[in-house]
Structure 1
Amino acid sequence: MKSWRFWLPAVATLLLGMDGVYMEDMRAENINLLTPTDYNMVLNLGMRVLPRDCYDMLMTSSGKARDGVYLIQPGDTPIVAYCAMQEGGWTVVQHITVNSSVDFDRTWDEYKNGFGDVTGDHWLGNKYLHQLTLGPAHYKLGVKLVDRDAVTKTGEYDPFLVEDESTAFRLRLGLFQGTAVDALTTDTENYLHDNQKFTTKDRDNDNYFQNCAKLEFQGVPCGGWWYDACAGANLNRRNVIYWQKDCNKEHLCKYAWMMVRPSDLVKMIYSGDCKKDEL
């Protein structure tokens, strides 16, 4: 960090608060994603002006912040999030382990507000995805997949936006690059996830004659996702993480992450008279 004085307010909070933490410092709206015994894991308690996201926190610390849980404030109220600082200041918005003990078969409100444990398997929340990607800067989405042989594949969509609840948290994606296949914007029949609304077991917004979130594989529902009819990718299937040929029932993956950070794009890309992406 810039100096040890940067962390003195947090240290004082840990020493003087009940159970190691002043509860007023844990004013995060999504505090349910952190167990009380883990409150002291938050690395920037006592920080007067909270960062907007993990990348903002990394820049504030002159690049010295470490991986862990931080308070950030992408909207009107603070939230807790896990920051992958060593990878460049990514804000983790989803993590899943195959056959996770965390149930991803959740309702619309649960996907909206987030669930799970921010230090492990979780969904940060669609309304926070919207707040993070709303700007003022453009954001990009990072996907990380790890198979059973510990082979890691990654991909990025730049730019990336989740629209507000009035649009059913519609997904908007830009150009793709990475070692993983493009499983979200490839124009394959019935499997184009870009521009799709979010669907849960109690809110059917997909393009299939049944609710894709209710369909089961090995007795496990598919969970909430931006379905088409139904999926070329789904990182919320906790029995089989699915990402076309990279992760499926024949090629099992152990872990998957979704992360966001500010975009590398300075301006939107145009082609002739037509916008490539109108985010």
Structure 2
Amino acid sequence: MESSAHSALTNAKDDEIDELKKEINDLKAYKGNESALLISKDEIINTLKENTINLLKAKNDQISDLRALLNEKDQQLTKYKNEGEDLSDSEIYIDGTRRIQVAGNPSFTAPFIRAVSDWTVILRRVYGNVSFSRDWNEYKNGFGDPNGGDFHIGLDNLYSMLRTRQHELYVSVKDVIGSTGYARYDNFKINHENASYNLLSVGEYKGTAGDSLSFHVGLNFTAKGRDPVYRSPNNDLGGWWFKTTKENERAWLSNLNGKYYESGIAPNKRGITWGSFSDFNYSISLTFAQMMIRPRP
């Protein structure tokens, strides 16, 4: 009996020892798993940090690229705004012609300078091979050679272009000795035919030729057939926004539609004039004059 009891006690102890060994092994396994979990957690954290850093770097690169693009666009916009302020002699002539269609009006052909910047020529005096001593209907509809020659776009066409949005005006002038200048205005606008194409606005001036157009703001366009001053068949003033004096004479600071004199001298003071460019000496007649418009940015 004593032997049986001792054997039972021994077996119980062995079972207890085995149970403790199992618990110890389980604890070791848990510790191993815990360490693995801790290592895995650290790896995840490090990976997240690395991904975040890479993402921030990519975003910073994108921001830098966008800033560079914006800077480039700003430079292009500045160039666009300033383009043409002082065109060289090689750039004052046309690059070609194009058809222009304004809603509600027939299409028409007009010369242009630098198609990308939308400078459209509305008047050009360069050869003197086209007379500008024209009647009202001719100034209304336009005349001359748009393909590089002397040319007037026509006041109806000009009005249709200006009425829908604000336009800049750029005037280039040159005298017989080769001196050049320009006048630029930021809000050129005229009225319709029933209001005699009244010069409504020219806006702010800047340039090198002087401001000889603001004087004419508020004046009606006059030409043969609409003004008694033009009854004389020898009148070569051309049509313009002239001021009427008390003596029923015509006064002007500029007239780019006057008679062309190849010599650059107008004996009757009725040549192509931009007074402030020629020190208001109206015996000087320009040998080149060009007016261009483009929509404001």
Q: TM-score, with normalisation over the residues of structure 1?
A: 0.60
| 1:112 paired to 2:112 | no
Q: 2:175 aligns with which of 140, 147, 150?
A: 147
Q: Specify the alignment match of 1:126 in structure 2.
A: 155
Deviations 1:154-187, CA, capped at 9 Å, x for gaps: 11121011111111111122111111110111xx
- Kindly report which structure 2 residues correspond to 1:10-29, keeping only aligned pairs within 5 A, or say none: none
In 2, Cα distance between the equivalents of 1:87 and 1:145?
23
- Is the Cα contact below 8 Å between 1:113 and 1:126 reproduced in 2? yes
> Once the two structures are aligned, what percentage of the paired residues are identical?
33
Q: Specify the alignment match of 1:156 in structure 2.
A: 184
| 1:241 paired to 2:272 | yes
Q: 1:91 aligns with which of 104, 109, 120?
A: 120
- Is the Cα contact below 8 Å between 2:273 and 2:284 reproduced in 1? no
Structure 1 pair 152–79 and aligned structure 2 pair: CA distance change class (3 A):
same
C-alpha RMSD of the superposition? 2.4
User: After TM superposition, where is structure 1 displaced by more than 4 Å over at least 4 residues in a row?
Assistant: 213-216, 247-250
Please tell me the residue identity of whatever aligns with 2:125.
I
Deviations 1:22-54, CA, capped at 9 Å, x for gaps: xxxxxxxxxxxxxxxxxxxxxxxxxxxxxxxxx
Cα offset, 1:221, TM superposition:
1.2
Q: Specify the alignment match of 1:198 in structure 2.
A: 221
More helix, by proportion: 2
Q: Specify the alignment match of 1:36 in structure 2.
A: none
Q: Number of aligned pairs?
A: 184
Please tell me the residue identity of whatever aligns with 2:123.
Q
Cα offset, 1:220, TM superposition:
5.4
In 2, Cα distance between the equivalents of 1:225 and 1:82?
21
Q: TM-score, with normalisation over the residues of structure 2?
A: 0.57
Task: Give SS of 1:224's match.
Answer: coil
In 2, Cα distance between the equivalents of 1:147 and 1:75?
38
More strand, by proportion: 1
In 2, Cα distance between the equivalents of 1:249 and 1:97?
18
Cα offset, 1:238, TM superposition:
2.1
| 1:227 paired to 2:258 | no
In 2, Cα distance between the equivalents of 1:161 and 1:102?
26
Q: Which runs of 5+ in 2 are unaligned?
A: 1-79, 81-93, 245-250, 261-270
